[in-house]
Chain A
């Protein structure tokens, strides 16, 4: 029996359940110092002078802008390094000489205890020249707005920044005007999605130990150990051979650690200066101000014929990405790609994207990299058009979607693939039966205080960022696998598992290829010194790309194993059979048809060693040359309380297409967890801040007083960086267990290991629109902005009643 598709207790399950799993914050090193950060109390200010002398008298080691200069120059970098250098904007340094958002770190202090570090921090004196901030992206582009930057770098080129526009991207295909001309009706609509926060349970942190050879050992919250290694080498001017980043479990990520965390180079520079190990763990409040999800304002235009064909579509996106680029260039490319890949649009697509600097926390990827945002706009639009033109929303989708044989843009315009497996049709057709789609009724038929509605939306995400040609994004992975002398196997992979079960999938692939029992596959607790490169666990590439590399390396080891067995059994390798023998607890090799003459894998490995033939092992790097989409479909039932505006979700059907399901329960866990996050993105979460002091060209209206228990600084989040005042989903908002239905489509991805592709990020893509579409079905009110909170629902209901 194959282990692929079988539920097995996850490899790190016992460690995580017994408190023995180590995370970055659990690293304790004798003599370790504790670091804290001095953060700008101004959202926009030049730093004139920092006086650390009093802090140093207290025994603290301090780091300021002057300490990070190399030959008088600050190294300018981008924290995110998954794009090729020529497509990477660089605008930041380890510490800045200008604060561009509230609580941006501008100095760091390390001391023997955390308490002393905080006391010393209070003794640091900073002189600022306060500048006016700008918060609204539209206003940031206007004449006279404060400028965050004059110049940044794109690759090695210096680039002027005008009107705070960080990036603009225009992408088109076909003839959009001709497409619209062929349409019977044109639809246009604005949509807006808020800034939200990753809220990964482990705050970003780092421990750095200086080594006697001048190098450093690093434990950091990271989605890519090699990304950390390379950036630290560059920022600290250290040879890469002197940096070792350890692979360690991460307490949730959701994109927040694709880039090297801001605290990591600071901690490393401090440790090198102090010549002692330093630990720097963000407080939750600090973490709120380190990275957030990209908010987007969209304008969508679509042309449709009376027969239900979309003839052209245009999407404009305005992105407010905050104080640093992490990095909106590929983000805009991806938004264009997700948009382009949802429907065929008669081949006529126009995209206009603008990303703007503002004095806010920098934005980075958060599950979907623009996909949930784009999907909300497009899948809402599809529902609007269906309703207006009298189409069935499912039939309309089936007529227009991109499926097998069509092109999919896996990572913006430069990384494309031809779709070879697709569960869209199956999920829509079976889903509508399961959820009673035809009986959902119209909102006009619904009565009473609590009104139920059923909505559908479909989405996808890429599996990795590989393609037939190299593009803007780097994508390959590596692995080293060896067979031990008892037939057990060690797998050394740089790939990070963010909790989804990537490591379990990798172990299963190796177990299957080498026919070794899963319990005898060990994943090495490794580091950057002992592994070749893997770009990052992002873009839903863990199983397909990271697992794909392990799969191909395992095939090479298998080849060696059979060749060696052939020498020992006096037989051609092609005539040998390798099977798992559960009674012996390992694999066995025998001549086909002659089971009597067999050797265990352990015997073969041991004999090869005794004969001094070498270890049965292989190390290699591998690039997946496709980026197959994994698809999801959500059917959501909502219940709207028309008296309170409160929305609950009594039932949901989630269809996922990940090709072969490797870990069924973990696959379900991805879909259900993503549903919870999507539900919160749609109904609860919003990072609102005090923007009263920001630049504006509009006459200042008397603003609503801000109600909180403490005063709110200019640029400060109204929740004060506290989870208590940032509504996350808890156990109590989820539907009943029996009403959370999870299904997988019957699909097989020919380019994936054992037919597998990804699932993770696709699982959130269509949640938002499915809920909004269900709300429309319940009460006949369309929401174009998230979150759809009870206050907003109630206002809309009252407004509708007045009409």
Chain B
């Protein structure tokens, strides 16, 4: 398998890595950079547990080859909080008890954050539509949807 030199910025930190051409971005993040917050749930883009931010866009890292991500500016769940200060989505999830087993949560807060960067006042229907690629088997989504609405309101200064 041929090797490639790539550059990634992950959570503000630059990395130079040699990766095989078949290596997945999710595995590079987890096994090489030890950022295990992004989860393997299916490996084929069905569940959303591996979601990361590429710039402001939510991307399934299990469907991206590491070579494809050369030059990307990535934020993983580990990079959302500012020190001890959770981002508004994380804080709203905590305040609304939207977390149960927590395995979908990294992907869910990443995708919710992407939504709020795109639209600071989403309707309930828009939130539901945006989150439908992220499975949660525990919560029934209601507390999560409410959390995104609360986070949006807070970000708008309400």
Contact = CB atoms under 8 A, between A and B. Distances in A.
A126 B145 CA distance: 50
Contacts of A639: none
A663 B97 contact: yes
B78 A19 contact: yes
A17 B101 contact: no
Contacts of A708: none
Interface in A719-745: 722-724, 728-732, 734, 736-737, 740
Nearest to B27: A114
Contacts of B42: 284, 722-723
Nearest to A17: B90
Given A7-B97, A201-B47, A731 B77 contact: no
Contact of A251 (B31, B76, B94, B102): B102
A17 B88 CA distance: 11
B101 A26 contact: no
Contact of A284 (B35, B41, B90): B41
B93 A740 contact: no
A118 B145 CA distance: 40
Given A201-B103, A724-B44, A13 B137 contact: no
Interface residues of B, number: 59
A20 interface: yes
Contacts of A10: 94, 97, 99
A176 B104 CA distance: 49
B31 to A, nearest CB: 7
Nearest to B134: A731
B35 A203 contact: no
A650 interface: no
Contacts of A28: 31, 34, 36
A120 B1 CA distance: 16
A732 B128 contact: yes
A347 interface: no
Contact of A19 (B37, B41, B97, B142): B37
B143 A724 contact: no
Interface string A242-266: 0000000111111000000000000
Given A13-B94, A20-B78, A28-B34, A203 B144 contact: no
Interface in A3-39: 7, 9-10, 12-23, 25-26, 28
Q: Which of B30, B41, B46 has the most CB of A within 10 A?
A: B41
A89 interface: no
A223 B80 CA distance: 30
B81 interface: yes
B146 A737 contact: yes
B101 A252 contact: yes
Interface string B137-156: 11111111110000000000
A668 to B, nearest CB: 8
A620 interface: no
B15 to A, nearest CB: 17
B36 A201 contact: no
Interface stretch (A233-241, A348-356, A579-587, A673-681): A673-681
Nearest to A740: B142
Chain B CB count within 10 A is highest, among A203, A669, A731, A732, for: A731
A647 interface: no
Interface string B82-110: 00001000100111111111111110010
Contact of B95 (A9, A203, A284): A9
A199 B137 contact: yes
A666 B99 CA distance: 9
A19 B139 contact: no
B124 interface: yes
A442 to B, nearest CB: 31
Interface string B42-75: 1110110100000000000000000000000000
Contacts of A253: 101
Interface of B: 22, 30-31, 34-44, 46-47, 49, 76-78, 80-81, 86, 90, 93-106, 109, 124, 127-129, 131-146
Interface of A: 7, 9-10, 12-23, 25-26, 28, 115, 198-203, 249-254, 281, 283-284, 498-501, 663, 665-666, 668-669, 672-677, 722-724, 728-732, 734, 736-737, 740
6 contacts: A9-B95, A19-B35, A25-B39, A26-B36, A499-B138, A666-B97
